[in-house]
Structure 1
Amino acid sequence: MDLLWPPQERQGYQMLVFDTGNEVFSWKRPPPVTMADDQEMRLLEFSDGNLGLSVSRKNQATLELWCLEDYRDEVWVLKHTIQLALQQMPALLQDEHLWIPAVVSSEGDVLIQSRYGLFHCDRDGNLLRRFWFNQPRSSHRVLPVRHVLRKSLVQHPMFKPSENDAEPPFFRWLSSDPSW
């Protein structure tokens, strides 16, 4: 099993790979896209187990979804090009601040992070749902993360909570109990 990191400028836009069996780092070529500082790349996994990579640019309405069809020979195939229906999201067009679209599933679902909320779109770019932040100037933000855990990870006994474990402090704000 390999651990992978998406291409980044500081890595020469190569994908960093860690082979957990041999404990060796290596590089893998990304999809054949023009690399730029204003783009986001996120790793995902297709339902058939193939590695996927989404490519989006800040404040741009087009996203690409790539699939690594041949892992050994590094053959990438463009699966979807998603054009967002921005007319359904006027708040994005009025927002002078940065908004970042990110493909978050192999089916092509898109989350768009903006200053005031998140927008959930399907792979055809249609708005499915809005998630508004309660207070625009609030310091609490809901942000999609880049980390993905597979269900097949080995469950070691040390990871299982005991009956005496308290709720971790970083979840306290989610609790409805005011005593937290």
Structure 2
Amino acid sequence: MFTRPILFRGSLHWQILKSAGNMLKVFNTTVESFRQMRAPLLPYPADLFEMDGMLSMFSFDEATNTTIDIWMSQDYDNEVWALKYRVKLPVADLTVRFGKFVEYWNFMVTSRDGDVSMLVKFGEWLLQFDI
């Protein structure tokens, strides 16, 4: 099982869900070769995206349903990652506002011109969070 791949620097990157949580599989589309890349050790699957010209990933804390961590590769070649943002979702406020608690969430994190936006599907609603 794999996460959704992303094309970055001419290579496809994705996380392998059955392996250790801190490895990415990388396929170089030019020379058609595979390699592995270290990533942050995360307890949950992460989705990859590009932010400020760097490979980035976000992970949702499925145990608490309250936090999204956004990681950025500070040094891609040396596989150094840093936690860029920790976003606490206002679950209590959303539950009061929409009248129910939703356990299953869908996310999409995007970045443009240094700004990060998250689209969150909360029940029948689609919410946007800015950082």
8 Å Cα contact 1:111/1:121 also seen in 2: yes
Matches within 5 A, 1:80-159: 80-90=85-95, 94-100=100-106, 102=107, 104-106=109-111, 107-123=115-131
Q: For the structure 1 residues 16 and 93, does the alpha-carbon distance in structure 2 shift closer, same or farther, using more than 3 Å as the test?
A: farther
SS at match of 1:94: coil
Aligned with 1:12 (options 17, 20, 23): 20
TM-score of the superposition, structure 2-length normalised?
0.74
State the 1:95 CA deviation. Answer: 3.2
Alignment deviations for residues 76-110 of structure 1 (CA, whole Å, 9 cap, x no partner):
0111111122344226772354224x351233322
Unaligned runs of 5+ in 1: 124-180
Q: What letter corresponds to residue 82 of structure 2 in structure 1?
A: V
Aligned with 1:75 (options 70, 73, 80): 80
Runs of 4+ in 1 over 6 A off after TM superposition: none
**Corresponding residue number in structure 1 for 2:54:** 50
State the 1:73 CA deviation. Answer: 1.0
Q: Percent identity?
A: 25
Unaligned runs of 5+ in 2: 1-9
Q: For the structure 1 residues 92 and 66, does the alpha-carbon distance in structure 2 shift closer, same or farther, using more than 3 Å as the test?
A: farther
Higher-helix-fraction structure: 1
Task: Give the whole-Å Cα distance in 1 for the aligned partners of 2:24 and 2:72.
Answer: 14
Q: What letter corresponds to residue 121 of structure 1 in structure 2?
A: F
Aligned length: 116
Between the two structures, name the one with larger relative contact order (CA 8 Å, sep ≥ 6): 2
8 Å Cα contact 2:72/2:81 also seen in 1: yes
8 Å Cα contact 1:32/1:76 also seen in 2: no
RMSD: 2.3
8 Å Cα contact 2:65/2:103 also seen in 1: no
Higher-strand-fraction structure: 2
8 Å Cα contact 2:102/2:122 also seen in 1: no
